[in-house]
Amino acid sequence: MQIEVIVNLKKIKMEVDANEFLADTLRKYGILSVRKGCDTTCCGLCTVWIDDKPTLSCTTLSFRANGRKITTIEGVHKEADEFAQILVAEGAEQCGFCSPGFIMTVLAMKNELTNPTEETIVHYLTGNLCRCTGYMGQLRAIKTYLGVQ
Ligand code: FES
Ligand code: FES
């Protein structure tokens, strides 16, 4: 079947199977920042935005994205670079495997939350796993990025 989506502000027609998931479709169409870690909604690595809301693309059927706006890290690279520099400064960037999904979640948090507490930030990040950093550097970086104590 064919769907039409707006990916990073560009309208694209995509051929998809009925049982195909969005992470696979996006990669098939060259959006290679989208990766899968667990494939079972546990790690957050595959996070993209659908209509500006963080969504796990590994378990979202592609046809459900028909007519909707999809944003990946390629579409927000200026904001992603800004946050990545803070991450590096805090020593919170190690292998980087988790970064695409993690950064999409943090940028969504910035859009959605005003003056979040540490508890709110941690809760928002519940679905994003990182096997390297221990999270404390990431938490410092997020607080700096959001301008909260
Ligand atoms: S690959 Fe989608 S949550 Fe892990
Ligand atoms: S930096 Fe390695 S998994 Fe997060």
pLDDT in tens, 112-131: 999 999 999 999 999 999 99
3-state secondary structure of 117: coil
pLDDT in tens, 79-107: 999 999 999 999 888 899 999 999 999 99
Atom in ligand 2 nearest the alpha carbon of residue 99 = 4
- Each residue of 107-144: b (16+ CB within 10 Å) or e? bbbeeeeeebeeeebeebbeebbbeebeeebbbbbbbe
DSSP structure class, residue 113 = -
Tell which one of 132, 135, 139 to mutate to probe ligand 2, the residue whose CB is within 8 A of the most ligand atoms: 132
Q: How many CA atoms lie within 13 A of 147 on its CB side?
A: 5
Cross-strand pairs, 2: 15
C-alpha–C-alpha distance, residues 41 and 37, integer Å: 9
- What pTM did the predictor assign? 0.94
